[in-house]
Amino acid sequence: MAEKKQAFHGSDLEKIEEIYGIKKENIIPFGGNVNPLGISPLLKKSMGNHIEAICEYPDRDYKTLRSTLSMYCNTPMKHIIVGNGATELISLTLNLLRPKNAILLSPTYSEYMREISLVGGSYQEYFLSEENDFRLDLEDLKAHLTDDVDLFAFCNPNNPTSSALTTKEIHNLLKHCKKHHIFVLIDETYVEFAPDVQTVTAVSLVNEFDDFMILRGTSKFFASPGLRLGYGICGSLAFLEKLNAVKNPWTINTLAALAGEAMFMDTDYIKQTKDYISKERERCLTKLKKCSKLKVYPAYANFILVRLLDGTTSFEMFERCIKEGFMIRDCSSFEGLDGEYIRFCIRLQEENTKLLDILTV
Ligand SMILES: Cc1ncc(COP(=O)(O)O)c(C=O)c1O
């Protein structure tokens, strides 16, 4: 086993292969947060005949893709921008905003911090409290969102805590931020996995508020991290215009655009995924809650955050699991979650059962 303590990202399968000598194909990726049911059958069927599409440039405005997204999200197409994964849109948005004093709801996904630092901006982290099961104290946060703050960014449901703000709370926050001229960035990469999407998504607020941006991707829910397709929804058409002006043309290739047009329409697959994740997440939570060595937090995303209470470190648990071919996420690299937190996503039932057996012994 490895001599040096190291925290791996969910996609670091090649590194694991190298360090632990386990073949990539034999690793069950519990750290990747990807839908275990695989890609949409409608997408599979429609893509087979479309290879010739690469002979053409994509439509610069991606009208068909954006119109499909407009139906999927139930929001006007003029408010939608598409990008090369949520990652391109995180980068573009933060590049444009160049925040001098951002507040991030933490612990959270590291990409926002990396991008803010890259553009020479600065941020502070507002930490969700573990004692409160990582639920937000809205009034306390609002007291920190003052006139000198220029951006508030959060992930909803949040990676890695799996906690979420409700649409009602977001509405309250947006009203507050509008008063203080604070732009709000919401990463909804995991929102479709929430038990009731309509009670956590901010999409319905796009008509009411200008200065906020919702970002989503297809990597997780639609099991397609290799496709690199994401999208943003923004109330301000002026902000979208600025984004489009700095965005490189054609960053979504013709095949990815066609893939999006198929997968967002696959209502059976979408429903099947939601039902499966909800049921299996509940089953896993129930089993984990019975184990006195673990503390489990409420989960809105397709992953569960667990605190190890018996002195086992997150790295020791990571190694225990990887020896069996199960790659969970050691959360020690997340600021504020040192040493005793792990995260794992919902996989196929049989795989989950085996992982739970290891975690709960
Ligand atoms: C919260 C969050 N946002 C964005 C991403 C990246 O998304 P994409 O693959 O759409 O660029 C990830 C990937 O792990 C993530 O966890």
* Of the listed ranges 18-27, 63-72, 134-143, the one predicted with least confidence: 18-27
Q: Which tokens sit at 267?
A: 């209502």
CATH: 1.10.760.10, 3.90.1150.10, 3.30.1370.30, 3.40.50.720. Which one for 13-39+268-360?
3.90.1150.10
For the chain, give the mean pLDDT.
Answer: 95
> What ranges do the domains of the chain cover?
13-39+268-360, 41-266
Q: Rounded to whole angstroms, how far apart are CA atoms 336 and 9? A: 17
Query: Prior bond to 107 cis, omega within 30?
Result: yes
How many other C-beta atoms are found inside a 10 Å radius of the C-beta of residue 195? 15
pLDDT of residue 237: 97
**Dihedrals φ, ψ of 329, to 5°?**
-100, 120
β-partners of residue 106 are 127
How much is the average pLDDT of 140-163? 98
**41-266 classified as CATH 3.40.640.10:** yes
Distance 9 CA to ligand 1 centre (A): 11
Q: Rounded to whole angstroms, how far apart are CA atoms 123 and 133? A: 24
Distance 225 CA to ligand 1 centre (A): 9
Share of the chain above pLDDT 70, in %: 98
Query: What are the pLDDT digits (tens) for 276-289?
Result: 999 999 999 999 99
Q: Which atom of ligand 1 is nearest to the CA of 225?
A: 9
Q: Which tokens sit at 21?
A: 């000598």
Distance 217 CA to ligand 1 centre (A): 7
pLDDT of residue 81: 98
Q: Which atom of ligand 1 is nearest to the CA of 10?
A: 14
Ligand 1 atom 3: the closest Cα is on which residue? 189
Distance 215 CA to ligand 1 centre (A): 10
Is residue 2 predicted with pLDDT exceeding 70? no
pLDDT of residue 6: 63
**pTM of the predicted model, to two decimals?**
0.96
Is 327 exposed, middle or buried (CB count within 10 Å of its CB: 0-12, 13-18, 19+)? buried
Beta pairing, strands 151-155 & 102-106:
parallel
Is residue 4 predicted with pLDDT exceeding 50? no
Which residues surround ligand 1 with Cβ inside 6 Å? 85-87, 109, 155, 159, 187, 189, 217, 219, 225, 230
* Contact call for residues 184 and 173 (beta carbons, < 8 A): yes
Q: Which atom of ligand 1 is nearest to the CA of 218?
A: 10
Integer CA distances (angstroms), 297 to 106, 159, 168, 308, 341, in order: 15, 13, 21, 12, 11
Probe target for ligand 1 pocket from 8, 13, 87, with the most ligand atoms within 8 Å of CB: 87
Start-to-end C-alpha separation, the chain: 21
Q: Rounded to whole angstroms, how far apart are CA atoms 291 and 317? A: 15
Query: What are the pLDDT digits (tens) for 41-81?
Result: 999 998 877 889 999 999 999 999 999 999 999 999 999 99
* Contact call for residues 209 and 234 (beta carbons, < 8 A): no
Residue type, 141: L
Q: Rounded to whole angstroms, how far apart are CA atoms 9 and 109? A: 11
pLDDT of residue 10: 74
